[in-house]
Amino acid sequence: MILRWGILGTARINRRVIPAIRRTGRSRLLAVASRSGARAEAYASEWEIPRACAGYQALLDDPAIDAVYIPLPNSEHVPWTLAAIAAGKHVLCEKPMALNAADIDRIHAAATAAKVVVEEGFMYRHEPLTAKVLELVHGGALGTVHAIVSGFTFSLVRANDVRLDATLGGGALWDVGGYPVTYAQLLTGRGPKMVFGSAQWHAGGVDTEFMGMLRYPGGATATVYAGFHASLRTWLEVLGSDGALTVPNPFKPGIRETLELERNGRVETITVAGSAELFVREIADFEAAVLDGAPPVVTLADSRDAAATLSALVDSARDATALYPE
């Protein structure tokens, strides 16, 4: 059976996901929708997509579509995921699926009632590099994990980007903070018991630089960083009682990555082969969930943990008192 897809919106990220949908052999991209009918037509023609829909609901009303990919601005993820579920569609929604845990609960209840698969698009979760890191850490290579240090920054130069608009769920933490936060969650296996956040705020009301401190039951800590000012960089270090692991490129791994495992003063390098093309494994995982009934790699429980932790970090940063006005 072939999964017939529709995409809501003509987002930039589609350029990476459309080739992946076309690569697996179990999917067909059937339609794209845009708020503008003319834009949908032009986009469908450019990307050779058979159907163009004026408005997202028109695509959801098409009975030929089985599943939708939602790469809309963050504030639109919950309403359009719920609308898609109501139309009986399976949903692959870009991260962050929701900006609070209660919305994930609503999505979970609706998806369960409609018997559809809903998965959040954290592409790194599907990559062999992530599996290797989890194998090492959960296999005890570092002993007891005490500290995680991780972050994602890039230089945001587009002045009118949706990431700078608070009404659209913008901000560095919501955009790239989910990577270090969810990775820490994977490594510790649970949500934090305490968080502290500190942000630099943009005139548009969003954070453009975020520092988060998280403490987990048992005592492990995570220090996370998300930013729009420094140039592109991602990092992850895991410190344990018996060793330390450095992962230079944790969130968008290339075809060959090198981990550094330091124990007893000796550094061992571990090479991990990655995907020739990112997003293909994410699409394949979603297909398996819908077509084979396999459990998706990213569960709604994971998404709930992420939304709860990220929203707690935002609340903490909003509550933090400035010692000196800027």
Residues that bind ligand NAP (CB under 6 A): 9-13, 34-36, 39, 71-74, 76, 94-95, 121, 123, 162, 168, 175
- B/e letters for 123-146, b = 16+ CB within 10 Å, e = fewer, are bbbbbebbebbeebbeeebbeebe
Q: Which two tokens stand for residue 162?
A: 């949706």
Task: Provide the 10 A C-beta neighbour count for residue 114.
Answer: 15
Q: How far is the CB of 324 from ligand NAP (least distance, A)?
A: 33
Nearer to ligand NAP, 40 or 199 (CB): 40
Rounded Cα–Cα distance for residues 148 and 50 (Å):
46
CA atoms within 13 A on the CB side of 242: 9
Residues 6+ apart with CB under 8 A from 312: 195, 197
Residue with smaller CB distance to ligand NAP, 43 or 225: 43
Q: Write down the residue that tokens 């994977």 correspond to.
A: 186
Q: Which residue, 97 or 136, has its beta carbon nearer to ligand NAP? A: 97
- Choosing from 95, 115, 193, 252, which is the catalytic residue? 95
Q: How far is the CB of 213 from ligand NAP (least distance, A)?
A: 23
Residues 85, 288, 297, 98: what is their CA dihedral angle, to the nearest 10 degrees? -20
What are the residues whose beta carbons fall under 8 Å from the beta carbon of 45, sequence distance 6 or more?
A: 52
* For ligand NAP, the closer CB: 79 or 143: 79
Q: Which is nearer to ligand NAP, 10 or 27 (CB)?
A: 10
* Sign of CA pseudo-dihedral 127, 132, 133, 134: positive
**Quick check: 53 and 40 in contact, CB under 8 A?**
yes
State in angstroms the smallest separation of the CB of 318 from ligand NAP.
21
SS3 label, residue 201: strand
Other Cβ atoms less than 10 A from the Cβ of 238: the count is 27
Q: CB 68 → ligand NAP: shortest distance, Å?
A: 13
- The minimum distance between CB 274 and ligand NAP, in angstroms, equals 15
Residue 176 C-beta-side C-alpha neighbours within 13 Å = 29
| 95 catalytic per annotation | yes
**Residue closer to ligand NAP (CB basis): 96 or 243:** 96
Q: Rounded to whole angstroms, how far apart are CA atoms 225 and 176?
A: 9
Least distance between ligand NAP and beta carbon 293 (Å): 25
**Burial class of residue 195 (count of CB atoms within 10 Å of its CB; 0-12, 13-18, 19+):** buried
300-319 helix and 178-188 helix, angle to the nearest 10 degrees: 120
Which residues are CB-contacts of 158 (< 8 A; sequence separation ≥ 6)? none
- Rank residues 23 and 215 by Cβ distance to ligand NAP and give the closer one: 23
CB of 105 to ligand NAP, least distance (A): 20
Catalytic positions are 95
